[in-house]
Amino acid sequence: MTYEEKLKWFNEARFGIYVHFGLYSLLGRGEWVMYSERIPAKEYAKLADSFYPKSGCAKEWVEIAKAAGAKYMVLTTRHHDGFCLFDSKYSDFTSVNHGCKRDIIREYVEAAREAGMKVGFYYSLLDWRFPGYFEPEKYPESKDALLKQVFGQVRELMTNYGQIDVLEYDGGWDSSGLKPRSECAEFWHAAELNTMVRELQPQIIINDRSGKDEDIETPEQVVIGGKERMTESCMCIGDSCGWGYVRFNPNWKSAEQLLQHLVQAAQLGGNYLLNIGPCPDGSVRNEEIERLLQVGKWLGENEEAIRNSSSCDLIGAAQPGFLDLNLHGPWTRKGNVGYWCIFRWPGSVATAIRIAAPVKKVTMLVTGKEYPFTWDEKNGKLVISGLPALPPDPLATVLKVEFDGIPRRMAEDDLAAWIDYKHHQQL
Ligand code: GLC
C-alpha cells in the first residue's frame, strides 16, 4: 500500500474529533493533574473506585462527533496517569477492574463502527507511575517494566479490537524534555514497536510522537502545514491548558474560530482534530455540543469545499503576518476548482488578486447561483460583483470558482507594476 493509498480516507475526512477521557476527568483540573499537583501514585489510584461513566457515554461521543461532521475519532485509551480504559493483562489499573468495571474502549469501537466512523486510539508511552520513566538509570527494572507494559498494551490494542485506523502516540519525550527525538525513539524502541503495529494493522496511520517519523505530524493548538508528511493539527475547544475535563474553563472558541481552523487546515492539505473533554460521568457539556453542532451544520452544507481538498496557494487569510494577505478568507481547491471560504464578507463586490488561471465561472456553493466577474490576465485580479450586500451565511460563505487549469498564485516579477506609475500624475 502506498503512502497516498493509506492516507486516502484520511485526506477525504479532513475533520476528526479527539476525546480525552480518563480518571483525571473526575477531578476537573485537566489530564495533567496527577503530575502537576504531584499526587502520589497510591493516592491517585484511589480515584479508580469512583470511576462510573454513565452507560452509553461512548455512543453519545460518537453521535456528537457525527453531528459535527467528523469522519473519524481518536480516544485516549490510556493517558500519562496510567489508567486504562481497556482490559489489559499488563496492568490492574483499568476501568475493567475498578469502578464501573467496563471496557470503555470496546464500547467506543463498537459505537464508532456502527456509525461508520473511522477508529483512532491515543496511547501515551510514558506512565507517571513508573520511576524508571523519570530516572531510568536509577530504576532500571522499572524502566524495563514500563517498556514491557508499552509493548504488551500496544499489542493488546492492536489485536483485541478489530481494525484500528489511526494510532496516535503521545508522551514520547524524555522526562527532562531536552533529549533529541532520535534518543527518545531509542528509549521506547519505537522502530521495533511500530514494526509490530504495522504487522498487526497493515493499513494503520501512525503519528510521529514515538520519536520516530511515521505517517503524520500532529502539532498542537496551531494549524500549520506539514513539511514532509501530512499534518493533523489538534486543538482544544476551550483553553489550551487542558485536554481533559477542566471544570472552570472560561474561554471557549467560537464556532467561527473553529471553522476558520478547519478551513485553514484544509487549505494546507491537512486535517483538523478537535478535542472535547467529557465530564466525570462521560457526558459532553453544552458549550462543546453547541459549537460542534454549528460546525456540523456548516460542514454539511459546504463539505464539497473541505473533504478531499488539496492544498491551495491562492492568497487567503491563512498566514497571518504574511504580506500578501486577503482578509476575507482562505481558499481550498479540488482539481481546477477553487473554493473561497469567506469569513469576513466584503459586501456586494469581492476582489481577489494574483490568480494565474483563467476564471470560467463563479457560483455560491450552497445556492448554485452564478455571479458576474472580471478577471484580468495581466495582473490576475478577479472581481466578483452582484453579491449580496450582507453575509449570506454569518459563519462563512463559500464562493465556488471554476478555472481553466489548476488555480495557482501568479508570480509578480515587478512588485511595483500594480501602481501603474506611468499614468500617475505625481511622476
Ligand atoms: C500533549 C499532552 C497531553 C495531550 C496531548 C494531545 O502532549 O501531554 O496531555 O493529551 O498532547 O495531543
- pLDDT attached to residue 255: 96
Nearest atom in ligand 1 to the alpha carbon of residue 124 is 10
pLDDT for 422: 74
- Mean pLDDT for the stretch of residues 105-126: 98
Convert the pLDDT of each residue in 205-250 to its tens digit.
999 999 999 999 999 999 987 677 899 999 999 988 899 999 998 8
* Top mutation candidate among 24, 243, 271 for ligand 1, by most atoms within 8 Å of CB: 243
pLDDT for 316: 77
For residue 157, the model assigns a pLDDT of 98
Computed over every residue of the chain, the mean pLDDT equals: 94
From the list 361, 367, 356, the residue with the least C-alpha distance to 393 is: 367
Cα 325 to averaged position of ligand 1 atoms, centre (Å): 32
pLDDT at 320 exceeding the cut of 60: no
User: Is a pLDDT exceeding 90 seen at residue 253?
Assistant: yes
The model's confidence at residue 418, banded by pLDDT at 50, 70 and 90, is confident
Higher pLDDT, 240 or 16: 16
Smallest CA separation from ligand 1 atom 5, residue: 170
Nearest-10 Cα torsion for 212, 217, 220, 224: 140
What is residue 319's predicted lDDT score, i.e. its pLDDT?
56
317 pLDDT exceeds 70?
Answer: no
pLDDT tens profile 20-66: 999 999 999 999 999 999 999 999 999 999 999 999 999 999 999 99
User: Cα-flanking dihedrals φ and ψ of residue 401, to 5°?
Assistant: -115, 120
Give pLDDT, residue 86: 98
| Environment class of 303 (CB within 10 Å of its CB; exposed 0-12, middle 13-18, buried 19+) | middle
Which of 220, 233, 245, 272 gets mutated to test ligand 1 (max ligand atoms within 8 A of its CB)? 220
pLDDT of 426: 59
* C-alpha of residue 70 to centroid of ligand 1, in Å: 20
Confidence at residue 109, expressed as pLDDT on a 0 to 100 scale: 98
Tell me how far the alpha carbon of residue 177 lies from the centroid of ligand 1, in angstroms.
14
Radius of gyration (C-alpha) of the chain in whole angstroms: 24
- Per residue in 379-409, pLDDT (tens digit) is 999 999 999 999 999 999 999 999 999 999 9
Sorted by sequence, the CB contacts under 8 Å of residue 132 that are 6+ apart come out as 139, 140, 141, 142, 143, 144, 145, 146
- In the reported structure, the alpha carbon of residue 425 is separated from the centroid of ligand 1 by a whole-number distance in angstroms of 60
Instruction: Grade residue 416 by pLDDT with cuts at 50, 70 and 90.
Output: confident
Which atom in ligand 1 lies closest to the alpha carbon of residue 122?
10
Which residues form the pocket of ligand 1, taking CB atoms under 6 Å from any ligand atom? 20, 31-32, 170, 220, 234, 243
Ligand 1 centroid to Cα of residue 289, in Å, is 22
Q: What is the pLDDT of residue 324?
A: 64
Residue 226: per-residue pLDDT = 67
pLDDT of residue 412: 83
For the cut 70, the answer to whether the pLDDT of residue 187 exceeds it is yes
b/e burial code for range 118-145 (CB count within 10 A of at least 16 → b): bbbbbbbbbbbbbbbbeebeebeebbeb
